[in-house]
Chain A
Amino acid sequence: MSIFGIPTAALFGQLLLGLINGAFYAVLSLGLALIFGLLNIINFTHGAQYMMGAFVAWWLLSFAGLGYWPALIVAPIAVGITGVVMERLFLRRLYHLDHLYGLLLTFGLALIIEGAFRQMYGISGMPYQVPQSLTGVWNLGFMFLPVYRGWVVLASLIVCIGTWLLIEKTKLGAYLRAATENPTLVQAFGINVPRMVMLTYGFGAGLAALAGVMAAPIYSVNPLMGSNLIITVFAVVVIGGMGSIMGSVLTGFGLGLVEGLTKVFYPEASSTVIFVIMAIVLLIKPAGLFGRA
């Protein structure tokens, strides 16, 4: 069986890979959008936090014998705590300044973290086994789906929808949205905005770490895994605009699929297609597909 001369197995295989990349784009851009909404900072450390998540999972397995499922909970919390500390020590001092300083500071922190991990582990990756319970493949009739990959797509969808519900449908989310619009007023109502800002940054960092743990069995665990990804995620964010949460999720998954399709039909352009789309979107709708001008 084939479509446009491409065997369907190859086509669906690449589409699945694209969907998985898209899942990571979605979770990471979701975290970036959350942090940007409340802190007005583009978190350059996001890639490093994703990488740290994968490393925490690897450490847990190598030194404590704790497998994938505990890591899925412990790593985001651990990285989230480092995020909270970072916010307390550094980011807090910059809120009154131009937003660019936040970008520069988080860039510096990303260099420190990445350099430290490179110093300890070099640049070759370390393997992380797929958990026992998620090995094997499902036969879907038209293709074979490795169980773990299906899980990653499903889990990131759950995370994205969960975050969306948290922000749109709960009281905490309402405070958060209000503080994004007008922090001074929300504070006047007796809500501790600085603490909310701190926890939001921790939550965003935790989301990145969660993506890192999920990525560990698919890509190898290595110090540079985050910095390569984060630049693509920036392009995704520019395309989607950071105005809406659902917008960044849809853009993430959509662009992953486009990238997968490009790999099938014109592999040479697969690493640049997202940047080309970004250029086109800038021409047609500069504020981004879901952004507010």
Chain B
Amino acid sequence: MLSSRKTGWIVIAALLVLAVLAPFLGFYTVFLMKILCFGLFAAAFNLLIGYVGLLSFGHAAFFGMAAYVTGHSAKVWGLTPELAILAGTATAAVLGTAFGWLAIRRMGIYFAMVTLALAQMVFFFCLQAPFTHGEDGIQAIPRGELFGLISLRDNDVMYYFVLAIFCFGLWLVWRAVNSPFGQVLKAIRENEQRAVSLGYRTEHYKLVAFVMSATISGLAGGTKALVFQLASLTDVHWHTSGEVVLMSLMGGLGTVFGPVIGAALVVTIQNKLAQLGAWVTIIQGIIFVVVVLLFRRGILGELQALLDRRKAKAGG
């Protein structure tokens, strides 16, 4: 029998091959790009809740601000797509540093309320600032030419660009989690006092994790703005913050790939039920309640637990 680590690698390799072949297999690439953007967003968010145990209810601020800045710099300043996304990501990093610095002063429930309130401040800012164009948002953002050479107008070409960004972002998350740094984060999650007494300056670790999470969320947001050629108030609304919580929770907190599965499911539900209006919100609420009451480990977490139990049975 294969070890679970090996099985994991095989599954990842198979998924990667599938992702590369997807445009040839007749998948709708815009839909796939949406999943990739939100999957990366959810994985970045999960870095904080899953590995440090900090629930941020304001991640839409980083996602949305990056979308606005990417859109503005591509449309008004005429930056190439990679530079526009970089500008958006850098904005998210700066914002994340400021918010993280404030928010890590409180723990637990207060941390969630503080991040939610700070994100609401960003929402009101975006509602009033002239460059965001209020209710209309920044529309018709040009995708432009990658490095000034490759036109991204074609959805299939854009798809490979987005897939590359997604893999890079997810690799960053995976690398951070599976490093000595990630081990310290987990130690803080399990018992912060003990981590402090072992000599770790936990605030520094929490702040770095927060900034990383915000930055990668910005990367996802900026990419999303180019995919849909739109940056709007929806991106900075607290609803988006709630959705990313749902994606991670549903896929499995504290797993690298779970949030991506959760994102795929949430995006699919949104697309299928788009005509039903408020029903999307109701169904999302129901999923929240069901997951919190019955499957707190999420899809991937439950799957892992199931495999572990099987192995224990086979071994014992």
Residues of A within 8 A of B (CB): 36, 42, 90, 93-94, 97, 99-101, 103-105, 107-116, 118-119, 227, 231-232, 234-235, 237-238, 268, 271-272, 274-276, 278-279, 282-283, 286
Contact = CB atoms under 8 A, between A and B. Distances in A.
A114 B281 contact: yes
Interface stretch (B3-11, B121-129, B208-216, B256-264): B121-129
A237 B279 CA distance: 31
Contacts of A94: 292-293
B153 interface: no
Nearest to B281: A115
A275 B117 contact: yes
Main secondary structure of the interface of A (DSSP, over half): helix
Nearest to B105: A286
A68 B127 CA distance: 35
Nearest to A100: B55
A238 B279 contact: no
A268 B121 CA distance: 12
Contacts of B113: 42, 234-235, 237-238
B288 interface: yes
A111 B280 CA distance: 10
Given A90-B289, A112-B289, A119-B282, A276 B121 contact: yes
Contact of B109 (A42, A93, A110): A42
Nearest to B290: A108
A278 B114 CA distance: 8
Contacts of B284: 108, 111, 115
B292 A104 contact: yes
B108 A100 contact: yes
A271 B124 contact: yes
B78 interface: no
A236 B113 CA distance: 10
Contacts of A279: 102, 118
A274 B277 CA distance: 32
B33 interface: no
B37 interface: no
Contacts of A238: 106, 110, 113-114, 117
Contacts of B121: 272, 275-276
Contact of A100 (B109, B120, B127): B109
Query: Nearest 5 A-B pairs (CB), nearest first?
Result: A108-B288, A111-B285, A115-B281, A112-B285, A115-B282
Nearest to A227: B238
B176 interface: no
A192 to B, nearest CB: 24
Given A108-B288, A238-B110, A118 B278 contact: yes
Given A111-B284, A119-B279, A90 B293 contact: yes
A101 B238 CA distance: 18
Contact of B277 (A93, A119, A234): A119
